[in-house]
Amino acid sequence: MAIILFHDEGQESAARQSKEIMEQQLGTKIHTEIQPLDKFYLAEDYHQKYYFQNVEELAIEIKAYYPGIEGLTDSTVAARLNGIAGGYGDPELVGKELDSYGLSQRGKDIVQDVVY
């Protein structure tokens, strides 16, 4: 079973509208619950930025900037690198942003190898 969790009325409304549209397009009922988010739990450290952490050399470079897992989980660069490592990198966008990631030349080369 799937679930969509919302924070406020706007998110709830958007989720319900999206579900209705998909049901109309598919011509079938979607069995996804839509519920308020009561409490959020961070995943264990080894799940944080999972794809990125599996590119070991790159992970070591970025982790050197952060003294603890909190910095890594809050890092926009680590989030972008996680998406890239997970196969969601747009080569054109990565090319435009790569210099802003603060990586060494070796780190940039690794990112390019992953994207291309």
Query: How many angstroms separate the CA atoms of 57 and 106, rounded?
Result: 9
Structure tokens at 71: 């910095």
Q: What percent of the chain has pLDDT over 90?
A: 69
Structure tokens at 61: 């470079």
CB 35 within 8 A of CB 5: yes
CA-based torsion, 18, 33, 73, 54: positive or negative: negative
Q: Dump strand ranges (E) for 1-116.
A: 2-6, 32-36
Kindly indicate the confidence band of residue 111, based on its pLDDT and cuts at 50, 70 and 90. Answer: very high
Q: What percent of the chain has pLDDT over 70?
A: 100
Instruction: Tell whether the model's pLDDT for residue 108 goes beyond 90.
Output: yes
pLDDT in tens, 30-82: 999 999 999 988 888 888 899 988 999 988 988 888 878 888 888 899 999 99
Q: What is the per-residue burial (b if ≥16 Cβ within 10 Å, else e) of 80-102?
A: bbbbbbeeebeeeebeeebeebe
Which amino acid appears at position 67 of this protein? P
Instruction: Please tell me the predicted confidence (pLDDT) of residue 70.
Output: 83
Q: pTM of the full predicted structure?
A: 0.67
Query: How many angstroms separate the CA atoms of 74 and 24, rounded?
Result: 38
The chain-wide mean pLDDT, for the chain, equals 92
Instruction: Tell whether the model's pLDDT for residue 1 goes beyond 80.
Output: no
CB 61 within 8 A of CB 85: no
Instruction: Name the residue ranges covered by the structural domains of the chain.
Output: 2-36, 45-115
